[in-house]
């Protein structure tokens, strides 16, 4: 099972990661845009902090994250099973 | 490359503007939505936000 | 290579079971203008793009389309969760149930299986980028049709998100087209 707090933190990660992705697509065609790159880098750092916080509390979001014993990555819920 | 008024200059890009071709204006970096609003809107960029309005029956 | 991140790009919710809408959503799971077609199209075309901006863009949009495929899969999964064979049958999903039970097989809204014939990779970057611009418009139109077929606020919000992504991708492919044109206009690339 999962908590409301877990879902809220996950949604915060989803929002920040969406901004990073949108900026990455913009930078693909505007690699010399200094302001966009600065925003990209700031949101990318924010994303890392949030992901670390999430994984400490609720387990890995990705298979190269360090896990407690037993392996936590396989645990529920999976993304399609969550009520957001 | 000719330097005519048919030349499109955006983002230091110079492309000759000709018949029989398609062109898209380059986006410049401006204001952005906050992360939550961006995710809900489906874009970070106010100038690209074009929400769907159901067409009225004719 | 790719790593899976255990999260959706967008928080997709549904209000209730709706097998009829699930059937229609297969249009974007395994239809001609589906997220699956989009992803395979861009990830296939990227090898023959002539400039780094276009290689990067096709890789990154192709990857995002896989995340959209997962969002459509989530909507169908949630809309059909717990449905009985009889309910599936009454919703026009009897044929699907016979072959796939409640699994998510990539076919279109009418049950036609996905095929690579839905996509093209010509090796000509101008032709391929125009195909991608058209693909984004066809997917946008399909999302508008799908939005008109439901009153579920969660489904509408999710489809509206995916529709808006088509508009953003169209802009990016357009920019890539301009950059490729500029590159090909340079004297050494005039054939």
> Is residue C186 scored above 50 in pLDDT?
yes
**Is residue A54 within 8 angstroms of chain C, CB to CB?**
no
Structure tokens at C178: 């301009």
| Confidence label for B12 from pLDDT (cuts 50, 70 and 90) | low
From B45's Cα to the closest Cα of chain A, the distance in A is 9
pLDDT at C191: 54
The gap from C-alpha C49 to its chain's centroid, in whole angstroms, comes to 21
Residues of C in contact with B4 (CB under 8 A): none
pLDDT at C54: 98
**Is residue B13 within 8 angstroms of chain C, CB to CB?**
yes
Structure tokens at C76: 């169908």
pLDDT at C189: 56
Name the residue with higher pLDDT: B56 or C186.
C186
Contact C116, C10 (CB under 8 A): no
Which one of A13, A24, A29 has the shortest CB-CB distance to C53?
A: A29
State the complex-level ipTM: 0.97
Size of interface A-C (CB pairs under 8 A): 69
Contact C176/A60, CB-based, under 8 Å? no
Interaxial angle between packed helices C52-80 and C125-148, expressed in degrees from 0 to 180 and rounded to the nearest 10: 20
Alpha carbons within 13 A on the beta-carbon side of A73: 12
Residues of B in contact with C127 (CB under 8 A): none
The residues spanned by each domain of chain B are 27-51
Average pLDDT score, chain A = 97
C-alpha to C-alpha distances, A39 to A34, B30, C43, C64, C89, nearest whole angstrom: 9, 12, 27, 20, 51
Residue of B nearest to C161 (CA): B42
For residue C139, give the nearest of C69, C80, C77, C56 by alpha carbon.
C69
Residue C171: is it exposed, middle or buried by C-beta count within 10 angstroms (0-12/13-18/19+)? buried
Give mean pLDDT, residues A31-50: 98
Residues of chain C that touch chain A, judged by Cβ-Cβ distance less than 8 Å: 3-13, 53, 56-57, 60-61, 64, 70, 73-74, 77-78, 168-169, 172, 175-176, 179
Interior CA angle at A62 toward A60 and A64, to 5°? Answer: 95
Size of interface B-C (CB pairs under 8 A): 64
Contact A14, B39 (CB under 8 A): yes
Contact C168/B45, CB-based, under 8 Å? yes
* Chain C neighbors (3+ CB pairs < 8 Å): A, B
pLDDT at B16: 80
Strand partners, A62: C5
- Euclidean distance between the first and final Cα of chain B, in Å? 49
Helical H segments across chain C, by residue range: 19-30, 35-45, 52-80, 85-90, 94-100, 125-148, 153-185
Per-residue pLDDT tens digits for C76-110: 999 999 999 999 999 999 999 999 999 999 999 99
CB neighbours of residue A42 within 10 Å? 13
Q: Please give the DSSP secondary-structure letter assigned to residue A68.
A: P
Domains (ranges, CATH) in chain C?
19-113+122-184 (1.20.1260.10)
Name the residue range of residue A63's domain. 4-81
**Is residue A24 within 8 angstroms of chain C, CB to CB?**
yes
Give mean pLDDT, residues B28-52: 97
Contact A53, A9 (CB under 8 A): yes
How many domains are contained in chain A?
1
Average pLDDT score, chain C = 96
C-alpha to C-alpha distances, C88 to C79, C98, C160, nearest whole angstrom: 11, 10, 26
Per-residue pLDDT tens digits for C113-160: 999 999 999 999 999 999 999 999 999 999 999 999 999 999 999 999
> Is residue B6 scored above 80 in pLDDT?
no
**Is residue B1 within 8 angstroms of chain C, CB to CB?**
yes
| Confidence label for B1 from pLDDT (cuts 50, 70 and 90) | very low
pLDDT at B7: 58
Per-residue pLDDT tens digits for C26-82: 999 999 999 999 999 999 999 999 999 999 999 999 999 999 999 999 999 999 999
Radius of gyration of chain C (CA): 18
From B23's Cα to the closest Cα of chain A, the distance in A is 15
| Confidence label for A76 from pLDDT (cuts 50, 70 and 90) | confident
Contact B1, C190 (CB under 8 A): no
> Is residue B52 scored above 80 in pLDDT?
yes
Tell me which of A22, A23, A27 to substitute to probe the interface with B (most B C-beta atoms closer than 10 Å). A22
Residues of B in contact with C147 (CB under 8 A): 52, 54
Which one of C13, C60, C175 has the shortest CB-CB distance to A24?
A: C60
Residue of C nearest to A9 (CA): C7
> Is residue B5 scored above 70 in pLDDT?
no
**Is residue A16 within 8 angstroms of chain B, CB to CB?**
yes
Contact C9/A21, CB-based, under 8 Å? yes
pLDDT at C187: 75
């Amino acid at each position: 099972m999962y908590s409301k707090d877990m879902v809220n933190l996950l949604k915060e990660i989803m929002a920040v990661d969406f901004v990073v992705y949108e900026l990455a697509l913009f930078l693909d065609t505007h690699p010399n845009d200094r302001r966009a790159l600065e925003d990209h880098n700031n949101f990318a750092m924010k994303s890392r902090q949030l992901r670390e916080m999430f994984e400490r509390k609720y387990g890995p979001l990705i298979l190269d994250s360090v896990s407690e014993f037993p392996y936590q990555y396989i645990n529920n819920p999976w993304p399609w099973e969550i009520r957001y | 490359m000719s330097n005519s008024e048919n030349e499109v200059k955006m983002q230091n890009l110079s492309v000759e503007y000709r018949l029989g071709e398609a062109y898209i204006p380059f986006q410049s970096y401006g204001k952005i939505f906050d992360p939550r609003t961006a995710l809900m809107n489906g874009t970070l960029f106010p100038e690209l936000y074009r929400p769907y309005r159901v067409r009225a029956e004719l | 290579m790719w790593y899976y991140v255990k999260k959706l790009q967008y928080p997709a919710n549904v209000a209730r079971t709706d097998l009829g809408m699930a059937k229609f959503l297969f249009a974007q799971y395994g239809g001609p203008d589906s997220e699956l077609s989009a992803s395979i199209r861009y990830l296939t075309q990227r090898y023959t793009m002539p400039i780094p901006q276009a290689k990067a863009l096709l890789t990154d949009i192709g990857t995002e389309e896989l995340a959209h495929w997962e969002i459509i899969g989530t909507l169908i999964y949630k809309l059909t969760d717990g449905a009985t064979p009889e309910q599936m049958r009454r919703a026009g999903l009897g044929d699907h149930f016979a072959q796939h039970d409640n699994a998510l097989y990539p076919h279109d809204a009418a049950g036609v299986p996905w095929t690579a014939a839905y996509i093209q990779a010509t090796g000509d970057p101008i032709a391929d980028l125009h195909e991608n611009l058209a693909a984004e418009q066809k997917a946008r139109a399909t999302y508008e049709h799908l939005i008109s077929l439901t009153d579920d606020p969660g489904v509408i919000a999710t489809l509206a998100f995916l529709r808006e992504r088509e508009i953003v991708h169209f802009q990016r492919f357009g920019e890539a087209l301009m950059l490729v044109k500029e590159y090909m206009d340079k004297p050494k690339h005039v054939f």
